[in-house]
A and B are shown apart, each in its own frame.
Chain A
Amino acid sequence: EAGVTQSPTHLIKTRGQQATLRCSPISGHTSVYWYQQALGLGLQFLLWYDEGEERNRGNFPPRFSGRQFPNYSSELNVNALELEDSALYLCASSLWGTGSSYEQYFGPGTRLTVT
């Protein structure tokens, strides 16, 4: 069974540009979560999508946005990039609504560098 996949692996952008990161969840999983791991910090919760809807978002500005497609894949968009947006962005998926929904399965991440 294929795990969570993310693309691209690495992304280099300049300040002020927009970045788009993509995530494909494990087959059958309906929930997708996005996290930011900046240097020296833990995983900071960004967004949670389930069944195409945004269920919750963390303490991030509105220039961080995303969406979930009918096939449950997801996209994270970061507008007006700032240097401090440089981080590892991790996507996770889970099967919401069952006893196993607490277990999230992570992808390998996208390393975003803003210069």
Chain B
Amino acid sequence: DQQVKQNSPSLSVQEGRISILNCDYTNSMFDYFLWYKKYPAEGPTFLISISSIKDKNEDGRFTVFLNKSAKHLSLHIVPSQPGDSAVYFCAAIPTGNQFYFGTGTSLTVIP
């Protein structure tokens, strides 16, 4: 049972435009959410996180939005750069420190 879902397996965006990656979850007990970026042949690297008590967190070009009523999470990248091309995973944690990951969205930023 996939408790964290990323329904778009891939996304292509022009350089300089906004990339929006989406994530939906089913478990209302999740209280912390993270986004990871993964390049081929490397492990995922932490990108940005948000606590369930917030609805927005911003770090440079990256902003994560949380809509708890819709159980929806999104990552905005503005402006998108070719180096952002990677697979992005969202993850969620209930209490207990077990991560639940989505299936990933492959982002391609076209120069």
Number of residues in A with C-beta < 8 Å to the partner?
A: 26
Within 8 A of B (CB), among A27-65: 31, 33, 35, 40-45, 48, 55-56, 58
Scoring B residues 31 to 51 as 1 if CB is less than 8 Å from chain A, else 0, what string do you get?
A: 010101000011111100100
Please measure, in the bound complex, the distance between the C-alpha atom of A92 and the C-alpha atom of B45, giving whole angstroms: 10
Which of B56-64, B65-73, B99-107 lies on the face that meets chain A? B99-107
Chain B nearest Cβ from A36, distance in angstroms? 11
Please measure, in the bound complex, the distance between the C-alpha atom of A92 and the C-alpha atom of B43, giving whole angstroms: 9
Contacts of A44 in B (CB 8 A): 101
Please measure, in the bound complex, the distance between the C-alpha atom of A106 and the C-alpha atom of B10, giving whole angstroms: 23
Question: A105 contacts which of B46, B91, B97, B100 (Cβ < 8 Å)?
Answer: B46
Contacts of A112 in B (CB 8 A): none
Listed in ascending order, the chain A residues whose CB lies under 8 Å from chain B are: 4, 31, 33, 35, 40-45, 48, 55-56, 58, 90, 92, 96, 101-109
